[in-house]
Amino acid sequence: MRQLSRPARRGFLIAHLVVSVGWLGLTLCLLALAVTGATTGSPAAAEAAYRSMKVFGDWLLPPLALLTLVTGLVCSLGTPWGLARHRWVYAKFWLTLAAATASVLALRPTIDGAASAAAGGREVPEPVDLIVPPSVALALYVFLTAISVLKPWGLTRRGRRERERARASRTAKSTRGAGRASVRLGGWRPRRPTSARSPCAASAPKTSRPASTSRTTAAGAARSTSGGCC
């Protein structure tokens, strides 16, 4: 996939934050309603809680889960983060895929069953089945939010291979360039201008910058070896 322009990347990141944190909030609402349905003494309140769960499950759960996946994929494939280059991104992808599948294929039918039992004046057989999944999902989304911010665990094996390849090709290019310049200038080599070195290289946190595989300029090389630049 082509790398996104800066404004497009920001736009997709904002969209990704809105939908993924929206999914987390929705899960919190489902949990609150499931606990209300299970613990209230009033059949009318229980029916209202399960009916509300059905509305959320039908109208909000599938689009939010899907949009989280899609925007996450764009933020990964359209940026130097890549999908299988950093462990935190790869883990997020598989965990989100599992959570989205379980929400749509397992949680929604359970909610439907509870809503129709409550609407028909019957007891919901296992109210706990509506409490456990949102609790597990909530813990998972909090974990996913934390790893998104902390970006731990470094590169995957594939990410390391790509970085080595990029380094090797950069070294080959700069050696060829230096050789040609040296021949032209009779052995004298100009110093690299200070502006080509990253001004914020020393302070840039390494873990929160994506590994780049396509930097070819001197400034780009300085940025990528030092962990990124503002």
List of residues contacting ligand HEM (CB under 6 A)? 9, 13, 16-17, 20, 23-24, 68-69, 72-73, 75-76, 79, 81, 89, 92-93, 96, 141, 144-145, 148-149
- Closest contact distance (angstroms) between CB of 63 and ligand HEM is 14
Nearer to ligand HEM (CB atom), residue 52 or residue 76 = 76
Rounded (5°) CA angle 184-185-188? 140
Nearer to ligand HEM (CB atom), residue 49 or residue 108 = 108
- Closest contact distance (angstroms) between CB of 17 and ligand HEM is 5
Nearer to ligand HEM (CB atom), residue 17 or residue 218 = 17
- Closest contact distance (angstroms) between CB of 79 and ligand HEM is 5
- Closest contact distance (angstroms) between CB of 148 and ligand HEM is 3
φ, ψ at 119 (rounded to 5°): -65, -30
- State the residue number with the nearest CB to ligand HEM: 72
- Closest contact distance (angstroms) between CB of 132 and ligand HEM is 18
Nearer to ligand HEM (CB atom), residue 31 or residue 75 = 75
